[in-house]
Amino acid sequence: MNLDVLSISNEVKEALLHHKPIVALESTIISHGMPFPKNLETAKKAEQILRKEGVTPATIAILNGKLKVGLTLEELTYLAKKGRKVIKTSRRDIPYIVSLGLDGATTVSATMLIASLASIKVFATGGIGGVHRGVSETMDISCDLEELGKTNVAVVCSGAKAILDIPKTLEYLETKGVLVIGYKTDVLPLFYTSKSPYPVNIRMDHPKEIAKTMKTKWDLGLKGGILITNPIPKEYEMDPVEMNNAIQKAIEKMNERKIIGKETTPFLLEEIANETQGKSLDANIHLVHHNCYVAAQIAKEYYSEKL
């Protein structure tokens, strides 16, 4: 690839050179997931959690057409303040954003791809995209699932976003050969709650088990990511009935306004936050930070010489 397009911060370069643990972070959550200044506070704390654990944060975005791996505080602040004026960028959008020298806030799929280009193996986020409700009419399936099927990055999340069709999302992941690990859980957490009727492929209770599985998969030449699902801490989880009611109202409003494509998730998350008087936003922030902590433990094990 054109190496001039990939811009890695000195901090991340140093970690790569000395084989130190690194965790990638996405930027859509900054520009499209939360209002200012909550988004900036959340992004800064995510990086602080990683550094406190001895892990280098690598927040990823596209700025002036450059694939940026590791952002400065000034760049984080720029994304946070500009908000939805920054283009929400998945894998398909990268050539357009880069060729025209634009700014892009990277989704899970784009963050995975750019992390892989920079040889970063662990990525922490809130929740992945998946198969949307009403897929038989809309055929709306997030390319996050495709990326998980082919890109060698382990994604730590709190499951698929609660607005999705969870059973179909799990079926799609199975079709793509993606291993779904429950971290200290036997079921797939449902983003805002740890309660779920859907079993994961396997439960693992120790970061070292997960790190060994990652290494073994890729050493065997098996392409694709691993999904590590980490439940939201119980003290922050929300009542499933309240959440389902809020989601249903948000979906009805979305359908009335005929909102489709990549605008659906930001719209639904904002509407759900309004319906829950901000409780869903607070839960989202707590689960993201908890995922950063767990990703840090996995990254430390993965980069350990003892593995």
Question: How far is C-alpha 63 from the chain's CA centre?
Answer: 19
User: Is-catalytic flag, 161?
Assistant: yes
Determine the residue type at 299.
A
Among 88, 121, 161, 262, the one annotated catalytic: 161
- 204: enclosing H helix or E strand: strand 202-204
Q: Within 13 Å and on the Cβ side, how many CA atoms surround 123?
A: 37
Report the DSSP pairing between strands 104-106 and 56-63: antiparallel
User: Is-catalytic flag, 38?
Assistant: no
Contacts with 174 (C-beta within 8 Å, 6 or more apart), sequence order: none
Contacts with 242 (C-beta within 8 Å, 6 or more apart), sequence order: 276
Question: How far is C-alpha 120 from the chain's CA centre?
Answer: 14
What DSSP character marks residue 128? B
Q: Where are the alpha helices (DSSP H) in 264-303?
A: 264-275, 279-302
Contacts with 50 (C-beta within 8 Å, 6 or more apart), sequence order: 23, 56, 57, 292, 295, 296
Which residues are paired to 124 by β-bridges? 25, 156
Tokens found for residue 167? 């059973």
Query: 232 with 195: CB under 8 angstroms?
Result: no
CA dihedral 131, 134, 138, 140 (to 10 degrees): -10
Closest CA to 63 of 6, 122, 115, 14: 6
- 75: enclosing H helix or E strand: helix 73-82
Query: Which residues does the annotation mark as catalytic?
Result: 26, 161
